[in-house]
Structure 1
């Protein structure tokens, strides 16, 4: 297995992986309760977001035998907030989602709107997605993707923020130096508990800097 930079031509495959990996995620289930529709926002949003990787984000993928088996999407919090949200390409993505989601659309928008202020005041990097294919979990791929990105954050002297939606995710983040900064018991009525975590930059990176193509 190797970890390498994401390439736009991989967007469809990467989006499907994220949708499959988040199928049982409590926040994903709350956002789109209808199992038939649940993969749609993930597929459409991630496919377009990955294809249009903004100056405020970077993606790395774990590849084995020519297939993507894991993905990490990192975003710069401040740059992400200042990036033009009225980009016509992103507007097309929103329109496509609206048409496909139908009466589930208002709830999806409400959840995204409620999530937006959760990270207000944060600086540094946000780990906005960390996904491993269901057939390749529990063998260290998620940890490898985490170390790969955190080594870059340490070299840049950046803190890293993340949201977790299960106790297992919290445990995993803590093993990489994250601490809980806030517990969100009810983002909206019926929403699952979320944990906001932060990891300060280490004064000396414990891992060598990641290259564009890192064997693991």
Structure 2
């Protein structure tokens, strides 16, 4: 039996992890609202996750993948304390991909991201921006391995953690790791609801 191991991601992992996350988020309420075209959604999600990882998350040292042998089954994009906001340089680097992916939905996507920024806690914390398991390995513990890896560090550093759940059915999953719901965020323009969740260190 092969053990699932969480490890830090490298640049060489970006292509694979972006495909994993694209499949994981294909039916997510936020991505289906922002990217309504079912034919191009997977390709655009892969582009988005790749550029986000390359230009923002990877530099903070918070990107991890869960592997079963050589296979990447899940990925998590964490940002360290006080590093969750993108730099101007990163924003400029990502702009061409954002325009290509969102097209006429770019303004709606921008408004949604700005709302999430305004609702973001000010207290220093580890921010779980994205976590997802490939559709073929869900329920096998890949996501749990990623959660335990980073939350163990949070506890060792006595640092809180924060995320926004885009699915109501995922809230109990995060609660099992110690997160609690702190409110609701309704995206503008008829968008879906997200549940901000906070976890105090243990």
- Given the two structures, how large is their TM-score scaled by the length of structure 2? 0.88
Query: 1:42 deviation in Å?
Result: 2.8
Which residue in 1 is equivalent to 2:157?
A: 156
- 2:76 aligns with 72
Q: Matches of 1:148 and 1:129 in 2, distance apart?
A: 15
Q: 1 CA distance for matches of 2:114 and 2:42?
A: 20
Larger mean CA deviation between 95-104 and 170-179 belongs to 95-104
Aligned residue-pair number: 198
Of 141-150 and 99-108, the range deviating more from structure 2 = 99-108
Deviations 1:61-90, CA, capped at 9 Å, x for gaps: 111231211111111252233x6x221x54
Conserved 8 A contact 1:57-1:73: no
Any conservation in 1 of the 2:75–2:131 contact (CA below 8 Å)?
A: yes
Unpaired segments of 5 or more residues in structure 2? Answer: none
Equivalences for residues 179-198 of structure 1 within 5 A: 179-184=180-185, 186-198=186-198
Distance 1:174 1:55 in 2: 28
Q: Cα gap change, 1:101/1:162 in structure 2, threshold over 3 Å: closer, same or farther?
A: closer
User: Contact 2:65–2:76 at 8 Å: present in 1 too?
Assistant: yes
Q: 8 Å contact 2:78–2:126 — kept in the other structure?
A: yes
After the TM superposition, which of the residue ranges 162-171 and 70-79 deviates more from structure 2?
A: 70-79
Say which SS state the counterpart of residue 24 (structure 1) adopts. coil
Tell me the residue number matched to 2:103: 102
For residue 78 of structure 1, give the secondary structure of its aligned residue in structure 2. coil
Aligned CA-pair RMSD: 1.9
For the 8 Å contact 2:8–2:64, the answer to whether it is kept is yes
Cα distance in 2, alignment partners of residues 28 and 142 from structure 1: 19
User: Secondary structure of 1:79's partner?
Assistant: coil
Q: Which moved more, 1:91-100 or 1:146-155?
A: 91-100
The more displaced of 6-15 and 136-145 is 136-145
Unaligned runs of 5+ in 1: 203-216
Q: Tell me: CA distance 1:37–1:120, structure 2 relative to 1, closer, same or farther (3 Å).
A: farther
Asked whether the 8 Å contact 2:5–2:145 carries over to 1, the reply is no
Partner in structure 1 of residue 38 of structure 2: 35
> How far did residue 122 of structure 1 move?
3.9
| CA distance in 2 between partners of 1:108 and 1:40 (Å) | 17
> 2: distance between equivalents of 1:115 and 1:41?
21
What SS does the aligned partner of 2:140 have?
coil
Q: Which residue of 1 aligns with 2:9?
A: 6
| Correspondence for 1:112 | 113
**Out of 12, 23, 27, which is 2:26 matched to?**
23
